[in-house]
Amino acid sequence: MKPYVLLFVFLYGCAGARDVTGIYWSDKSPYKLTLNNDSVFTFEYTFQFKYEHATGTWHKEGKNKYILNSFVKNRKLSINVSEVAGNVGSADNLVSTRIRIPDQTYYKCGIFVDDALYETRSCDSLSSIVITKPLRSIYFGFSADERMPGRFLDTLYTQTFHPRMEYSNNLNVEIAYVDSFFNYRIFDSELIHIANKKLMFYEKPGVKTLLSKHSRNSNN
């Protein structure tokens, strides 16, 4: 094959790949998806107080088929737990929790013991938690109160910790808070279809969403 033919094939392939880039949205849908020519996508969902967002990579999978993978694949907050000297003289479990979350009075924390909700507290009152039952596992869930309606509808959960004993534990828990995990939507090899400047995906089985391509100067 001659060099200029190879060059033509290369340029034609690049042009074909760039042809699907742009912003896709519809007046009838709360979704907006942007495909950039660096193979990065951004996703937004806005409906009343509900909001979702994501960023990640996209690639061509076949004819009119493309795959989305978000940068974040797990929204669970990591925890670091120190098991200090036991609660001598008592079977109660003591848990001291620290999380660096802004405006803590706007957030509430669910304390889950053995996969069941044990107690709900404000995030500024987690320094001393007494658990008066056997403790086989513990994790936490965080959401905002009604003053932040967008985050009131979402909950971030931590990893689960399993102490060595069921009684008389004294635990110091440090939670690594990631603010951008709120309302983040995970894409795990999600398939979309693009043809004739139309993007189609299934929000859930049997429910098809269709978006149209617009110029970057258009407003939704």
Q: Does position 17 have pLDDT exceeding 60, yes or no?
A: no
Q: Which of 190, 126, 132, 188 is nearest to 158 (CA)?
A: 126
Judging by beta carbons within 10 Å of its beta carbon (0-12, 13-18, 19+), is residue 23 exposed, middle or buried? buried
What domain range includes position 20? 3-73+184-214
User: What band does 220 get if pLDDT is binned at 50, 70 and 90?
Assistant: very low
- Domain with residue 53: its CATH number is 2.40.128.640
Residues 43 and 116 in one domain: no
Q: How many domains does the chain have?
A: 2
Residues 31 and 52 in one domain: yes
Against a cut of 0.75, is the pTM above it?
yes
Q: Does position 107 have pLDDT exceeding 80, yes or no?
A: yes
Asked if the structure places residue 56 within a domain, the reply is: yes
Contact 23, 218 (CB under 8 A): yes
User: pLDDT digits over 118-157, tens only?
Assistant: 999 999 999 999 999 999 999 999 999 988 888 888 999 9
User: pLDDT digits over 167-212, tens only?
Assistant: 999 999 999 999 999 999 999 999 999 999 999 998 877 888 999 9
Better-predicted residue by pLDDT, 19 or 100: 100
Over residues 105-124, the mean pLDDT reads: 97
- Domain with residue 158: its CATH number is 2.60.40
Residues 194 and 142 in one domain: no
In percent, how much of the chain has pLDDT > 70?
90
Residues 29 and 94 in one domain: no
Contact 113, 133 (CB under 8 A): yes
Asked if the structure places residue 220 within a domain, the reply is: no
Residues 59 and 106 in one domain: no
Asked if the structure places residue 189 within a domain, the reply is: yes
Residues 129 and 157 in one domain: yes
Contact 32, 220 (CB under 8 A): yes
Contacts of residue 164, defined as CB under 8 A and 6 or more positions apart, other chains included, come to: 83
Q: How far apart are CA 198 and CA 203, in angstroms?
A: 16
Residues 32 and 19 in one domain: yes
Asked if the structure places residue 119 within a domain, the reply is: yes
Residues 68 and 151 in one domain: no
Residues 120 and 169 in one domain: yes
Q: Does position 6 have pLDDT exceeding 60, yes or no?
A: no
Q: Does position 112 have pLDDT exceeding 50, yes or no?
A: yes
Q: Does position 219 have pLDDT exceeding 90, yes or no?
A: no
